[in-house]
Structure 1
Amino acid sequence: MSTPPLRKAARAVVLDPDQRILLLHYDENDGFWATPGGSLEPGEDYPTAVLRELREELGAENVDLGAQIAERRTDHPVGGLQVRQVEKYFLARVVPADIDPDRATQPDNIRSQRWWTLENLQTTRETVYPHNLGELVTGVLAEGPPEKPIILR
């Protein structure tokens, strides 16, 4: 059996001044919520990609991009093709008024977006990726960004 092709992805854990987390809803795979982000373009580094993705998906401006806080490796389908994805998650802070879906140039099958409190995130029965996002954000808010990115399962 061959190894799926590698897909590098940059993702943002977007927080507002009230420490709410912005998640995007997708209908595929029975519906799920996920952090904004997407694959790197040729020659692009992860921080550049995450800022581009926030502009493309959310019309986000004035993003305060922080440190990489986590990494996840997973095999899953993207556009019908099985890939081995390496995701790097960066802390990003924005004011909700700086997000304007009307400015989004590539909304990528996003059905809706919602600001979640940590309590909402930890008690929801809906599927959220990455799993344990609430615990990750709780730790970052309590202790600051980790010295080394946390490896997510």
Structure 2
Amino acid sequence: MNLRHSTRGLVLDPSDRLLLLRCELPDRSFWVAPGGGLEPGESHHDALTRELREEIGLEAADIQHHVWRQEAVGPYAAGHDGVRNDYYVVRTEHFEPEPTPDWELEGISDCRWWTVSELLSAEAEFSPRALPSLLHALLTEGVPARPLLMGV
């Protein structure tokens, strides 16, 4: 199976607020962690460092634990059978990202910091769909021994 390999950052500030991007597609919108595809020969760490700089202007990313792996088959990436997203905890000071040229190219319309309470009570759609409860577990139970495998 030909999966598009991507890496995503769970960007958390000192108050454990999570930075998410709002992605707009023709048929739906959802909130997603910043990140993107690996380029040929690029490591997950290098790809995530590049993506965080390009998408949210984060120059010095403290990339920590690999906590989740999302695999989904379907029309999520042109030319691929599906996606594999590897999620890493990224710690940073609180900052306000400015829109970048990548936002328009990738259908990103907004960016905001979320508390766990806001995530758990939101009517919005997230990717992965269980992101609010997964983040709550991560922050209360700690880093899993192995990355959790999940679907859409």
TM-score by length of 2: 0.87
Corresponding residue for residue 20 of structure 2: 23
Corresponding residue for residue 85 of structure 2: 87
Corresponding residue for residue 7 of structure 1: 4
Moved more, 23-32 or 34-43: 23-32
Quick one: structure 1 residues 122 and 12, their matched pair in 2 at CA, closer, same or farther if it must change by over 3 Å? same
- Tell me if the contact between 2:77 and 2:83 (Cα under 8 Å) persists in the aligned partners: no
Structure 1 residues without counterparts, runs of 5 or longer: none
Corresponding residue for residue 127 of structure 1: 125
Instruction: State the number of aligned residues.
Output: 148
Compute the RMSD of aligned alpha carbons.
Answer: 1.8
Corresponding residue for residue 146 of structure 2: 148
Corresponding residue for residue 50 of structure 2: 52
SS in 2 for 1:101: coil
* Aligned partner letter, 1:25: R
Paired-residue identity, % = 32
**Aligned to 2:32, which of 27, 31, 34?**
34
SS in 1 for 2:74: strand
Deviation of the 1:30 alpha carbon: 1.2
- Tell me if the contact between 2:73 and 2:81 (Cα under 8 Å) persists in the aligned partners: yes
Q: Distance in 1 between the 2:113 and 2:145 partners?
A: 27
TM-score by length of 1: 0.87
Q: Distance in 1 between the 2:90 and 2:74 partners?
A: 25
